[in-house]
Amino acid sequence: MIEINNIKKSFQGKEILKGINGTFEPGKCNLIIGSSGTGKSVLLKCIVGLFKPDEGDVLYDGRDFSHGDKEAQTEIRREIGMLFQGSALFDSKNVEQNVMFPLNVLTDMSKEEKIERVNFCLQRVGLENVNKKMPSEISGGMKKRVGIARAIVNKPNYLFCDEPNSGLDPQTSMVIDELIDEITQEYQMTTTIVTHDMNSVIEIGQKVMYLYKGEKLWDGTNKDITHSGVKELDDFVFANRMMKEFR
């Protein structure tokens, strides 16, 4: 479990995160949702250590990530997998080299072991016979799958995904959501996903945190989200026509 306590972050005197508390549970997709510019990505970056919070703690299974020593932080970093917005594959590396990259950097596995692990992960995300393809030769949905394979290649305990559906059609988005959900349960990872896709909330939002202007206004499950009693959340949830009819 990841626990965050009173996370605050300002840029140039402007308070972006105003003291966020919450938990992210293992074996579940934990979603951070909210309108554009509300601080979702900044919160994610504070949790994974890409930004240092001005105040507050981030605990990974009780281990203090924000104030722990360098060694403890490195240890936790090794247990983190990330799926970045837009997949962020290296254009000059082929699929196999992209997925292998974390193993080259973080492990001393032999070449054979690395290839075996890469092939296992590619197979797990439904990709076969694409090892030598370049990112420019595969579709957006396939790139996401490669990104997921790379994120799980070093067997992370914690998986973070920033807008995993950006740039995908609704059908492919659903397939990618299902894949992330499946592997989360299979490997009992604590998966945290930043999204503003209501379809994802309905499909995989087993735990949802709603941010509004740098504050957490609500958390709960996708089952409760349509009757939260929070006006700002209602406006967000029922912003599209399909959801209005659902109401």
Ligand X SMILES: Nc1ncnc2c1ncn2[C@@H]1O[C@H](COP(=O)(O)OP(=O)(O)OP(=O)(O)O)[C@@H](O)[C@H]1O
CA 171 from chain center: how many Å?
19
Residues with Cβ within 8 Å of 16's Cβ and at least 6 positions away in sequence, in order, are: 9, 10, 39, 42, 214
Please tell me whether residue 124 binds ligand X under the rule CB under 6 A.
no
Q: Does residue number 42 form part of the binding site for ligand X (CB under 6 A)?
A: yes
Q: Which stretch binds ligand X (CB under 6 A): 32-40, 62-70, 119-127, 134-142?
A: 32-40
Q: Give the residue with the Cβ less far from ligand X, 79 or 215.
A: 215
CA distance 80 to 150: 11
| Binds ligand X by CB under 6 A, chosen from 5, 10, 23, 41 | 41
Min separation Cβ 46 and ligand X, Å = 10
- Residue that is written with structure tokens 């972050």 in the block: 9
Q: Applying CB under 6 A, does 40 fall inside the site for ligand X?
A: yes
Distance between CA atoms of residues 103 and 123, nearest Å: 17
Minimum CB distance to ligand X, residue 167 (Å): 13
Question: Could you say whether residue 34 binds ligand X (CB under 6 A)?
Answer: yes
52 binds ligand X (CB under 6 A): no
**Which of 11, 90, 120, 246 is close enough to bind ligand X by CB under 6 A?**
11
Indicate the residue among 122 and 211 with the shorter CB distance to ligand X.
211
Half-sphere exposure of 215 (CA within 13 A, CB side): 5
Q: How far is the CB of 39 from ligand X (least distance, A)?
A: 4
Closest to 197 in 3D by CA, of 163, 172, 154, 147: 163
**Residue in 22, 39, 135, 156 binding ligand X, rule: CB under 6 A:** 39
Binding status of residue 196 toward ligand X by CB under 6 A: yes
Q: Give yes or no for residue 38 binding ligand X (CB under 6 A).
A: yes
Residues 6+ apart with CB under 8 A from 22: 3, 4, 209, 216, 219
- Residue 24 CB, nearest approach to ligand X (Å): 17
Give residue 153's identity as a one-letter amino acid code: V
Q: At its nearest, how many Å lie between ligand X and the CB of residue 78?
A: 25
Of the two residues 113 and 235, which places its CB atom closer to ligand X in the complex? Answer: 235
- 2, 4, 7, 16: residue in contact with ligand X (rule CB under 6 A): 16
223 burial type by CB count under 10 A (0-12 exposed, 13-18 middle, 19+ buried)? exposed
Whole-number Cα distances in Å, 165 to 43, 107, 157, 198? 19, 30, 22, 11
C-alpha closest to that of 228 among 242, 245, 209: 209
Residues that bind ligand X (CB under 6 A): 11, 16, 34, 36-42, 196
